[in-house]
Amino acid sequence: MAALDHLAASIGLLSLRDLVPVMQASGYHDLNMLNAAALAAALVLDEVAGLSFGRRARSADLVVRTDGPLLREAAAELGVGCSLRSR
């Protein structure tokens, strides 16, 4: 709960209207909805960061608390970092 004290003043959410086409195009239909949305969000945010800040390297990675081989493999194939954070 202490992490809640360090949240940004405003938090933006990505619309599913933006994420669903990316989820479908990724081809990873075995992922559950939450994993597919997280992976799509990382791809979209990385693209936005690249356009806004001129970055070439990946900047949007996933940090998960539960390791899942399907998400880990999909992230690796798409070049999205995926790391496990312990509680």
- The confidence score (pLDDT) of residue 58 equals 60
- Model confidence pLDDT, tens digit, residues 18-42: 999 999 998 888 999 999 999 999 9
Distance separating the N- and C-terminal Cα atoms of the chain: 12
pTM of the entire predicted model: 0.75
Count Cβ atoms within 10 A of the Cβ of residue 75 and give its class: 0-12 exposed, 13-18 middle, 19 or more buried: buried
Q: Which amino acid is at 9?
A: A
What is the spatial distance between Cα 58 and Cα 55, in angstroms, rounded to a whole number? 8
